[in-house]
Amino acid sequence: MDKGVRIAIIGGGPAGLSAGMYLEQKGYENYVIYEKTDHVGGKCHSPHMNGKRYEMGAIMGVPSYYAVHDVEVFAGVSHADGPKLHRTYRLPNGKVDTRFDKKLFNLPHLLKLKSQIKKFGEILETKYKGYDICGHRGVSEGRYEGYAVTPGREPVSGVNPNLKDLALPFKKFVELNKVPLVQEIWVQPFTSFGYGYFDEIPAAYVLKYLDFQTMMNFVNVNLWTWKEGTQSIYEALNRKLKHPAVLNSKISKIVRGDKVTITVNGKEEVFDKLIITAPLQVGTINNPVAQGLDSYLDVTDKERELFSKIDYERYDTMAFITKEEAYPDASFYVVDNMTPETLGHGMVFYMRWANEPDQPLVSYVLRKHKNESESVEAYKARPELDYGKTQRTVLEDLDKLGIAPVKEDGKDKIVYEMQSYYFPHIFSEDYADGWYEKVEGMQGDNNTYYAGEIMSFGDMDETVEYSRDLVERFFN
Ligand SMILES: Cc1cc2nc3c(=O)[nH]c(=O)nc-3n(C[C@H](O)[C@H](O)[C@H](O)COP(=O)(O)OP(=O)(O)OC[C@H]3O[C@@H](n4cnc5c(N)ncnc54)[C@H](O)[C@@H]3O)c2cc1C
């Protein structure tokens, strides 16, 4: 492709900014990044409170976040000075949950669990070879194609019919492979981090994020954090780009033909190529920050049909200050609240700095679950749990946990809250039906490319890695 093409990138989150970085590194310098809010980072959101930065969105990475590391190098950022993460467990009544206490753990169960984890690791490397590369190209056809999860990201491809099993919900997938107990370990960084439940989410997504090496990093608490928050990575990246994102860009219309004409803040701009990292979902989205793609793009019938299949997680964070004497010693999980039956209850309570009262504690909650027997249509037609009601449930949870927020004017003092359009994904039937092959087959049509969370997985590394993958494939 001619290196002078004018490229518009929609969205100034990790996917959009890193698309700019990778394009620039390939010599494509004629790009504009449009960000609709007044800040970059998207769901990497680290607001300032009491002179420090806290995390309302993304928190951590692992040593295999090679793409995030590309950004760190480019932007001059390091994860060396982030706060250390600790993890404890509590029951919903506030008592210590001893289920993972090595001394108190039921030994026969522990041994069985350990042996299933080991077996799972072996199965993934052999039977499901190719399961962990970025993106989903070819998986529903029993193929893999992409870049290895190594620092060098060598191109890899192959045929492996077993990969078709990845369309199954994770629960069915591990039952099929006779390792159901691994769910006890995988659930913690999956469901509590808002990625849904194992009876509804295809294994392909669970393992895209929690591939075996990443999961072991979680188990061993071998994690990266950033002192100034995850948002600071993308702020630094934005500062280093030749063309930092254009903030407060309100796009009202995009019309595609030989050229791409974008109406932004009332003015028309013409481009040769378009990269969309904003949500691809069409129709009304019940979220304060997301809008359907068809509200501004001239979507084709094919795009409408495919993108109407996308669903997302209703994942909310709420920060509050508790009394000094009630501060927990460390962040904690409430594993009993990570089930579909306890939907709407707080699953994690995150404290960023050890031994520091008077800092916000952040709670994490999910508000919708697709029942196993329910069709996608019936699920989509059913309302989610009400946001306000769920907030009150979480406040009751906090009371029971003994860490209720301090009051202001008689009311619980919530210092920050965020509702995310989170982890866009499709369900098993559409995955098995080749949704990804169809969307990948549309890359480049109408001068349009799709990137961002839906194309691989909703975490920092998969989104940045996918932008790299896209640039490698189409802008070489
Ligand atoms: C509570 C929470 C915890 C998380 N924890 C982790 C974690 O620990 N580790 C991890 O790796 N990931 C984590 N994530 C996920 C991670 O933040 C996201 O996967 C990542 O930010 C996705 O990047 P993105 O660029 O694809 O999308 P986003 O971050 O959503 O960015 C999209 C950007 O596009 C902009 N935009 C949208 N529509 C338009 C439009 N029409 N015009 C212009 N701009 C538009 C948005 O304003 C936004 O800035 C977490 C997220 C949340 C919410």
Mutual orientation of helices 183-191 and 107-125 as an angle, nearest 10°?
A: 70
Residue 387 — pLDDT band, cuts 50, 70, 90?
very high
Question: In angstroms, rounded to a whole number, what is the distance separating the alpha carbons of residues 366 and 343?
Answer: 6
pLDDT of residue 428: 97
- Report which protein residue has its CA nearest ligand 1's atom 12: 459
Residue 409 — pLDDT band, cuts 50, 70, 90?
confident
pLDDT tens for residues 28-48?
999 999 999 999 999 999 999
pLDDT of residue 50: 81
Cα end-to-end distance, the chain, whole Å: 7
Atom of ligand 1 nearest to the CA of 250: 42
Instruction: Find the mean pLDDT for residues 218-222.
Output: 90
Q: What are phi and psi of 262, to 5 degrees?
A: -115, 130
Say which DSSP state 28 is in: -
Instruction: Find the mean pLDDT for residues 171-198.
Output: 96
Atom of ligand 1 nearest to the CA of 422: 53
Instruction: Find the mean pLDDT for residues 420-448.
Output: 98
pLDDT tens for residues 72-127?
999 999 999 999 888 899 999 999 998 877 676 678 888 899 999 999 999 999 99
Cα-to-centroid distance, 208 and ligand 1 (Å): 17
pLDDT of residue 346: 96
Per the document, the length of the chain is 476
Contact 449, 443 (CB under 8 A): yes
Q: H or E stretch including 268?
A: strand 267-271
- Report which protein residue has its CA nearest ligand 1's atom 21: 43
Pocket of ligand 1 (CB under 6 A): 10-16, 34-37, 42-44, 57-61, 193-194, 249, 251, 277-278, 291, 315, 317, 420, 422, 452-453, 458-461, 463
Cβ atoms within 10 Å of 189's Cβ, excluding its own: 22
- Report which protein residue has its CA nearest ligand 1's atom 15: 459
Cα-to-centroid distance, 20 and ligand 1 (Å): 16
What domains are there in the chain, each with its CATH number? 7-44+225-310+426-474 (3.50.50.60), 108-219 (1.10.405.20), 311-425 (3.30.70.1990)
pLDDT tens for residues 295-314?
999 999 999 999 999 999 99
Mutate to test the pocket of ligand 1, among 43, 72, 347 (most ligand atoms within 8 A of CB): 43
What 3-state DSSP class applies to 318? strand
- Report which protein residue has its CA nearest ligand 1's atom 13: 58
Instruction: Find the mean pLDDT for residues 371-397.
Output: 95
- Report which protein residue has its CA nearest ligand 1's atom 38: 278
- Report which protein residue has its CA nearest ligand 1's atom 48: 42
pLDDT of residue 248: 98
- Strand ranges, E, within 307-429: 311-320, 332-333, 348-351, 361-366, 407-408, 411-412, 414-425
Cβ atoms within 10 Å of 272's Cβ, excluding its own: 16
Mutate to test the pocket of ligand 1, among 21, 22, 33, 44 (most ligand atoms within 8 A of CB): 44
Instruction: Find the mean pLDDT for residues 227-242.
Output: 98
Q: What is the mean pLDDT of the chain?
A: 95
Instruction: Find the mean pLDDT for residues 341-361.
Output: 91
Say which DSSP state 157 is in: E
pLDDT tens for residues 260-286?
999 999 999 999 999 999 999 999 999
**pTM of the model as a whole:** 0.97
Cβ atoms within 10 Å of 255's Cβ, excluding its own: 12
Structure tokens at 205: 């997504």
Choice among 57-66, 155-164, 211-220, 245-254 with the minimum mean pLDDT: 211-220
Cα-to-centroid distance, 159 and ligand 1 (Å): 32
pLDDT of residue 357: 79
Cα-to-centroid distance, 181 and ligand 1 (Å): 31
Contact 351, 108 (CB under 8 A): no
- Report which protein residue has its CA nearest ligand 1's atom 2: 57
Cα-to-centroid distance, 100 and ligand 1 (Å): 32
Cβ atoms within 10 Å of 100's Cβ, excluding its own: 16
What 3-state DSSP class applies to 420? strand
Determine the residue type at 389: K
pLDDT of residue 114: 92
Looking up tokens 């077996």, which residue turns up? 119
Cα-to-centroid distance, 44 and ligand 1 (Å): 6
pLDDT of residue 59: 96
pLDDT of residue 104: 67
- Report which protein residue has its CA nearest ligand 1's atom 14: 58
- Spell 384-409 as b/e; 16+ CB within 10 A means b: ebebeebbebbbebbeebebbbeeee
